[in-house]
Amino acid sequence: MNQNWIIIGASSAMARAFARKAASEGARLLLTGRDMADLDAMSADLRLRGAPSADTLAYDSRKRDTFGPIVDWAAAQDGAVNVALFASSMPEQADIDADPDLANGCIQDGLSGPADLLLQLAPVMEAREAGRVIGISSVAGDRGRVGNYVYGATKAGFTTFLAGFRNRMGRKGVHVMTVKPGFVDTAMTWGLDGLFLVAAPEDVAERLWAAVHKGRNVIYVPGFWFLIMLIIRHVPEPIFKKLSI
């Protein structure tokens, strides 16, 4: 069966590493995002790495008219259609506090836009009774923290959406995996204070590829973040409210 991967937000460091992994496995690719010049350069690189094809399309979570061409591309492919969603944004919480309008863009980029696109792709995938979805959430969604509660709320919502979507799609042979990264060396984390044990995007991509093909439902990357967040979730609320994390 032909392997097709749609990469949403393909210019991110994690997405770029995942696309390279998929190309090395002989997958046909669709790269989507806002920076078309970057996507075109990626496309040429990925074909050299083994991808039979690497098409590009514009995607903007805040512009719903960019979703239709992606759905049309999926419908035109032979074989299973797989989707990996990396698109998101993380404004500084202090900036959102000063300008609440910034919250809307964060929610569109990380929750409402990706959810809308997946709902449009669902009939195509269900009709073929095959395919995989990788949804990138975050450990930030496991508990609201003063330092990034809007971003965390977005990721909590996306985690819940993916759980329900997994229930729906699994009945038609489509597997949905939720990924909760901790600190990964990407543009979203560059320059942030207090980072530790930062994972390389290439290591994350290898983990994603292996886990989704094993049918994992929810994973933390790196895996030790499961234990870290288990502790954080169980800190009593009166104590947690006093923590500056």
pLDDT tens per residue across span 126-140: 999 999 999 999 999
Instruction: Please report the pLDDT score of residue 193 as a whole number.
Output: 47
Helix (H) or strand (E) run with residue 192 in it: none
Report how far apart, in Å, the C-alpha atoms of 108 and of each of 84, 167, 228 are: 17, 23, 28
Query: Residues 147-162: pLDDT tens digits?
Result: 999 999 999 999 999 9
CA-based nearest residue to 56, from 109, 91, 15: 15
Which letter, b or e, does each residue of 22-41 get, where b requires 16 or more Cβ atoms within 10 Å of its Cβ? bbeeebbbbbbbbeeeebee
Helix-, strand-, coil-residue percentages of the chain, each rounded to 5:
50, 15, 35
- The residue to which tokens 């069966």 are assigned: 1
Instruction: Please report the pLDDT score of residue 186 as a whole number.
Output: 53
Instruction: Please report the pLDDT score of residue 39 as a whole number.
Output: 98
Indicate the residue type of 116: D
- Six-digit token pair at 53? 């094809």
Instruction: For residues 219 and 213, give the distance between their C-alpha atoms in angstroms, rounded to a whole number.
Output: 13
Instruction: Please report the pLDDT score of residue 192 as a whole number.
Output: 43
Instruction: For residues 236 and 189, give the distance between their C-alpha atoms in angstroms, rounded to a whole number.
Output: 28
Query: Residues 48-83: pLDDT tens digits?
Result: 999 999 999 999 999 999 999 999 999 999 999 999
Instruction: Please report the pLDDT score of residue 1 as a whole number.
Output: 46
CA-based nearest residue to 21, from 227, 149, 210: 210
Q: Are 221 and 204 in contact (CB under 8 A)?
A: yes
Question: Domain boundaries in the chain?
Answer: 3-240
Instruction: Please report the pLDDT score of residue 143 as a whole number.
Output: 95
Instruction: For residues 245 and 237, give the distance between their C-alpha atoms in angstroms, rounded to a whole number.
Output: 13
pTM, whole model, 2 decimals? 0.91
Instruction: Please report the pLDDT score of residue 2 as a whole number.
Output: 63
Q: Are 8 and 59 in contact (CB under 8 A)?
A: yes
Displacement of CA 104 from its chain's centroid (Å): 18
Which letter, b or e, does each residue of 58-93 get, where b requires 16 or more Cβ atoms within 10 Å of its Cβ? ebbbeeeebbeebbebbeebeebbbbbbbbbbbbeb
Residues of the chain with pLDDT under 50: 1, 187, 189-195
Sheet containing 175-181: give its strands across: 54-58, 28-33, 3-8, 80-85, 132-136, 175-181, 218-221
**What is the CATH T-level fold of the domain 3-240, as seen in this structure?**
Rossmann fold (3.40.50)
